[in-house]
Structure 1
Amino acid sequence: MAGHGEAIPMRSRAIGPLRGVADVPGDKSISHRALILGALSVGETRITGLLEGQDVLDTGAAMRAFGARVERLGPGDWAVDGVGVGGFQEPADVIDCGNSGTGARLIMGAMATSDLTVVFTGDASLRSRPMGRVTEPLALFGAAAHGRRGGRLPLALRGAANPAPVRYATPMPSAQVKSAVLLAGLNAPGETVVIEREPTRDHTERMLAGFGAAVTTEVTSEGRVITLTGQPELRPQAIAVPRDPSSAAFPVVAALLVEGSDVLVPGIGLNPTRAGLYDTLIEMGADITFLDRRDEGGETAADLRVRFGPLRGIEVPPARAASMIDEYPVLAALAATAEGPTVMRGVKELRVKESDRIDAMARGLEACGVAIEEGPDFLIVHGRGPGGVEGGATVGTRLDHRIAMAFLCLGLATRKPVTIDDGAPIATSFPGFVALMRGLGAEIHEGADAPLARAGA
């Protein structure tokens, strides 16, 4: 499994403008949910544009272990023959979720109201991440979890034999927690209610409605109140997965980093609960044009034309954090080349991602000659302006795909090359990242000590 074996050092350096078309893969969040809800429906769901990164493949393997037929028909083209709500069988072996916190937490929710016992594990990064934030609300349904200290994997989850619906207010903005509770509510009688004070990505609500579940969202004085009626018969769907805005962030930011660049990034999902990075980039002065806005599978999408230009540091509104939580690492890399400080507050969730992303970005940027300030819930990057970042460092990625890609992008604009200690985890979410970037003209090489060669040379 990618990210579990030998480390793959990589190095990037500045060489010239990036130009061309960046075809990024399908949305990871939607891909996970399409496989899980396809497995919980009755009949065959067809999925096109599925992200075939290791995280999503691990979720597909888990759905097979629960009894669904999951078949790859061609590149990005998959069929899922589901077993229906409440139809999961007990897996014969451990469910290995690899590097994916989304996969682990959503699958736990999907099985927590069935009379099954399932053991979950993952790679070293996932085994370090807290699962109590999901297992605690699942216990309200009647599920019982037994894991390592702090609720960490490996963990055995005993599903509720006689689940009861719950009303749950999420203590932190987390689409994973919200989605786990809603998926658990599918096999509970009556109405399950989730209340979130700050809105998070709403792919689960949208997709549940598309599969035929009765789900409503109301904005009240408590926040967003999502109500799901349990025990529906979900109808199979044809799902076209839009391209991932989180993956698109890397070629977009790379084009903004490298002088003279002009890159088209087509078909990017711009769900308003996911598009916070692009609002932030525009406020920084980024030259981004949104072309051919359209609807793709119930999600807003557009083609992005991105051109290099001077950027200024800003204070990112803390209320925006939930809509761009996965993009802060690459934003921090870009902020290093802006004029003035970029202030990111309300981002404590970054501390419990695949790595402590605040600490990982802070240490890596410092090594590249960038001044930073950090605290439990904030990161401030003091930008050095275009061409002002020294680079020349080897950065520890901590088994985190987004840290790895962020520093490879930064290395395209630093005075000296930037090396990352391990690029293998990139395959969990963006398996074609290096090839795509090389196709635009980037110079990225595997192996920290080998000489760099221009793509195609």
Structure 2
Amino acid sequence: MKTPNTLTSFRQSHLNGVINAEIGLPGDKSVSHRALILGALAHGNTQITGLNTGEDVEYTELALKSLGVDIIQQSPTSRLIHGKSGWNFKQPINPLYLGNSGTTARLLCGLLASSPLNIQVYGDSSLSQRPMRRVMTPLTEFGCQFEATPENTLPLTIKGSSKLEPIDYVIPVASSQVKSAIILAAMNTKGISRIIEPIKTRDHTERMLQYLDYPIHFTLLESGHTQIDIEGKHVFNAKDISVPGDPSAAAYIAVAAMICPYSTVRIENLSWNPLRSRIFSILQEMGANIKIENIRNECFEPIADIEVSTSYNRPCIIKSEDVPALIDEYPILSIAAAFAEGTSVFHGLRELRYKESDRLNALYRNLNLCGIETHIQDESLIINGIGPKPIFGGKTINAGKDHRIAMAFYIMGLSARNPLIIQGTDCIQSSFPHFIKIFDELSYLRAVS
């Protein structure tokens, strides 16, 4: 069922139940994109289970099919990919439409940089405003060429080359998407390419390559930076890939359980990658009742089960160094901060202006609309929480085509005396198709004012 364009969020009590990543919680979106791409490059067949069913991942799958990759859908969350043993792509008949998926756009740039094809990619109005220069710059150093708008946004034509030269590149802005694009280009470039990462970002690509026995090497430098060496032109064998539950999606369920009275929610088979689980350690620092159990590893990714219950929240101060590990979680962290007793400060949020929307401004505007005194100072967001009492509500929120803003303010409405109406919520389909169904199943009672 498609997510409707307008949702009404009511005050809730007693959220109780179990969410399993294989049934309700979406598969990790970052892992899903990379599983499809690396499965397409592998020698042999890759069985993927737990795939994210959102539109963003679907656009990656459709793009690969347009490039000649044989992908068989066995169930909504299962795919069988017949790998091409390398970069044996065909020229697609039409330009590739990528919807609102920035991950698809940037990873495809890296994937296609070493293919002797001219491929145009384009997206919706939101994706067409997002910056692409940061990924175009290193790929141009390899020898790839691009045709883009004067603002270096989509639509974009990728003019790949089979004669790329390896590069040494220091990533100037922390971005796992840029890092992954460089890795994909380096994999089909003869020689060793080197990436220096000053600030550690999500490492799903590197972990999956290690799982697939691809020659990728890491060195921790005296500076504290991470050096990644990628040996090019290696064929690697396919392996089955199990996608864990998405911690960014689970954070919405966790905060809902924290702010709704008498709630206990268990989330199973959740990605516990240390560069993704920071959101839960922050929530614990704020006073969240979170039990962590059954930590194990699958496909080089840590996985855990957690249980979250109603909590009394303290404010928090988040430093700019945490931004790469929390980049997608600030909207829901802002809701947790709104119901904390005191002032929370999130530093270094410049990158939030370049997501699906200007998230920094969207949070500032909509939190104030809901009666939460909020300020922007330089690149910091300051939220004066009201404690555990409900907000008055009765407001209309414009999500601005941003799925994380839409979901965050739906959660805020669970503690509002009067319903919150959130407009533009069909964008939730891009990452969390069963979002509303999950809350319908977890909800026991409608709380009275």
The CA distance in 2 between the partners of 1:442 and 1:151, in whole Å, is: 49
Deviation sequence 1:398-442 (CA, Å, 0-9, x none): 111110000000100122211111110101000000001111007
Counterpart of 1:446?
A: none
Q: Structure 2 matches for 1:10-29, cutoff 5 A? A: 10-23=7-20, 24-29=25-30
The CA distance in 2 between the partners of 1:249 and 1:184, in whole Å, is: 33
After TM superposition, the score normalised by the length of structure 2 is 0.95
Structure 2, gaps ≥5 residues long: none
Query: Does the CA contact (< 8 Å) of 1:85 and 1:186 recur in 2?
Result: no
Which shifted more, 227-236 or 313-322?
313-322
The CA distance in 2 between the partners of 1:430 and 1:197, in whole Å, is: 32
Pair 1:383-2:385 in alignment: yes
- Residue identity matched to 1:234: F
Query: Does the CA contact (< 8 Å) of 2:121 and 2:157 recur in 1?
Result: yes
The CA distance in 1 between the partners of 2:8 and 2:347, in whole Å, is: 30
Query: Does the CA contact (< 8 Å) of 1:310 and 1:386 recur in 2?
Result: yes
Which shifted more, 309-318 or 171-180?
309-318
The CA distance in 2 between the partners of 1:317 and 1:88, in whole Å, is: 43
Query: Does the CA contact (< 8 Å) of 1:192 and 1:228 recur in 2?
Result: yes
Give 3-state SS (helix, strand or coil) of 2:389's partner.
Answer: coil
* Offset of residue 32 of structure 1: 0.2
Q: Structure 2 matches for 1:98-177, cutoff 5 A? A: 98-177=99-178
Give 3-state SS (helix, strand or coil) of 2:275's partner.
Answer: coil
Deviation sequence 1:150-169 (CA, Å, 0-9, x none): 21111111112410011111
Structure 1, gaps ≥5 residues long: 444-452
The CA distance in 2 between the partners of 1:283 and 1:419, in whole Å, is: 31
Query: Does the CA contact (< 8 Å) of 1:245 and 1:274 recur in 2?
Result: yes
* Offset of residue 83 of structure 1: 1.4
Provide the aligned length of Structure 1 versus Structure 2.
442
Question: 1:442 and 1:253, CA in 2 relative to 1: closer, same or farther beyond 3 A?
Answer: farther
Counterpart of 2:365?
A: 363
Counterpart of 2:318?
A: 316
* Offset of residue 146 of structure 1: 1.2
Counterpart of 1:219?
A: 220
Counterpart of 1:437?
A: 439
Counterpart of 2:239?
A: 237
- Residue identity matched to 2:412: L
- Residue identity matched to 1:426: I
Give 3-state SS (helix, strand or coil) of 1:237's partner.
Answer: coil
Q: Which of residues 278, 295, 298 in structure 1 aligns to 2:297?
A: 295
Greater than 6 Å deviation, 4+ residue runs = none
* Offset of residue 376 of structure 1: 4.5
Which shifted more, 145-154 or 307-316?
145-154
Give 3-state SS (helix, strand or coil) of 2:421's partner.
Answer: strand
- Residue identity matched to 1:54: E
Query: Does the CA contact (< 8 Å) of 2:312 and 2:340 recur in 1?
Result: yes
Counterpart of 1:329?
A: 331
The CA distance in 1 between the partners of 2:388 and 2:444, in whole Å, is: 17
Counterpart of 1:184?
A: 185
* Offset of residue 282 of structure 1: 0.7
The CA distance in 2 between the partners of 1:325 and 1:10, in whole Å, is: 25
Pair 1:95-2:96 in alignment: yes
Query: Does the CA contact (< 8 Å) of 1:367 and 1:391 recur in 2?
Result: no
- Residue identity matched to 2:87: G
* Offset of residue 22 of structure 1: 2.2
The CA distance in 1 between the partners of 2:229 and 2:297, in whole Å, is: 25
Q: Structure 2 matches for 1:53-68, cutoff 5 A? A: 53-68=54-69
The CA distance in 1 between the partners of 2:264 and 2:332, in whole Å, is: 18
Counterpart of 1:449?
A: none
Counterpart of 1:268?
A: 270
Give 3-state SS (helix, strand or coil) of 1:73's partner.
Answer: strand
Give 3-state SS (helix, strand or coil) of 1:399's partner.
Answer: coil
Deviation sequence 1:54-113 (CA, Å, 0-9, x none): 111110111111111011112311111121223122221111111111111011111111
Deviation sequence 1:185-219 (CA, Å, 0-9, x none): 11111011111111001000111122232001111
After TM superposition, the score normalised by the length of structure 1 is 0.94
Query: Does the CA contact (< 8 Å) of 2:16 and 2:444 recur in 1?
Result: no
Pair 1:9-2:10 in alignment: no
The CA distance in 1 between the partners of 2:124 and 2:350, in whole Å, is: 23
- Residue identity matched to 2:272: L
The CA distance in 1 between the partners of 2:95 and 2:433, in whole Å, is: 25
The sequence identity of aligned pairs, in percent, is 39
The CA distance in 1 between the partners of 2:270 and 2:5, in whole Å, is: 29
Give 3-state SS (helix, strand or coil) of 1:152's partner.
Answer: coil
Counterpart of 1:428?
A: 430
Which shifted more, 386-395 or 406-415?
386-395
Counterpart of 1:193?
A: 194
- Residue identity matched to 2:27: G
- Residue identity matched to 2:421: T
Query: Does the CA contact (< 8 Å) of 1:95 and 1:119 recur in 2?
Result: yes
Query: Does the CA contact (< 8 Å) of 1:62 and 1:95 recur in 2?
Result: yes
Counterpart of 1:450?
A: none
* Offset of residue 396 of structure 1: 1.3
The CA distance in 1 between the partners of 2:438 and 2:325, in whole Å, is: 25
Counterpart of 1:448?
A: none
* Offset of residue 21 of structure 1: 1.2
Give 3-state SS (helix, strand or coil) of 1:274's partner.
Answer: coil
Give 3-state SS (helix, strand or coil) of 1:291's partner.
Answer: strand
Q: Structure 2 matches for 1:378-417, cutoff 5 A? A: 378-417=380-419
- Residue identity matched to 2:144: A
The CA distance in 2 between the partners of 1:329 and 1:141, in whole Å, is: 36
Give 3-state SS (helix, strand or coil) of 2:394's partner.
Answer: coil
Give 3-state SS (helix, strand or coil) of 1:329's partner.
Answer: helix
- Residue identity matched to 2:18: V
Counterpart of 1:39?
A: 40
The CA distance in 1 between the partners of 2:196 and 2:321, in whole Å, is: 17
Question: 1:442 and 1:150, CA in 2 relative to 1: closer, same or farther beyond 3 A?
Answer: farther
* Offset of residue 41 of structure 1: 1.2
Give 3-state SS (helix, strand or coil) of 1:313's partner.
Answer: coil
- Residue identity matched to 1:323: A
The CA distance in 2 between the partners of 1:193 and 1:389, in whole Å, is: 51
- Residue identity matched to 2:294: D
The CA distance in 2 between the partners of 1:114 and 1:15, in whole Å, is: 52
